[in-house]
């Protein structure tokens, strides 16, 4: 599970998971939160991100704009994500805006995840 700056792919696809280093609701020092890329079935927007861990699991984090799509495909362009990160991955904390650390965010590709039984 590489960090975003080391991720070798040009796009994120439906089912890929971003593991943010902290929970955007709880602030610094909180446990990580996972967002999964999903298809909102709306041609007027790009793909979306849904929360899949923590107490907001199941809620939509964001619907991204059409400009986020890679070359007209239904995938999130990594160049767009890097360029727009500070706009889409920030939150209010202690009366200031905090940007989620791009360099500490991990990617779990849908085709490289394993389901492991926890004993």
pLDDT of residue 110: 75
To the question of pTM greater than 0.75 for the whole model, the response is yes
Band (103; pLDDT cuts 50, 70, 90): very high
What per-residue confidence (pLDDT) applies to 92? Answer: 85
Work out the number of other CB atoms within 10 angstroms of the CB of residue 33: 23
Mean pLDDT computed over every residue of the chain:
90
Please give the share of the chain, as a percent, with pLDDT higher than 70.
Answer: 93
Q: What is the per-residue pLDDT across 55-101, written as a single tens digit (0 to 9) for each?
A: 899 999 999 999 999 987 899 999 999 999 999 999 888 888 899 99
């Amino acid at each position: 599970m590489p960090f975003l700056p080391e991720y070798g792919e040009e796009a994120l696809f439906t089912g890929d998971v971003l593991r943010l280093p902290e929970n955007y609701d709880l602030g610094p020092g909180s446990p990580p939160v996972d967002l999964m890329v999903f298809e909102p079935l709306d041609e007027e927007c790009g793909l979306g991100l849904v929360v899949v861990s923590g107490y907001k699991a199941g809620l939509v984090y964001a619907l991204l704009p059409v400009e986020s799509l890679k070359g007209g495909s239904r995938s999130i362009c990594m160049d767009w994500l890097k360029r727009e990160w500070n706009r889409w991955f920030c939150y209010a904390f202690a009366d200031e805006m905090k940007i989620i650390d791009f360099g500490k965010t991990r990617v779990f590709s849908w085709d490289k995840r394993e389901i492991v039984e926890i004993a």
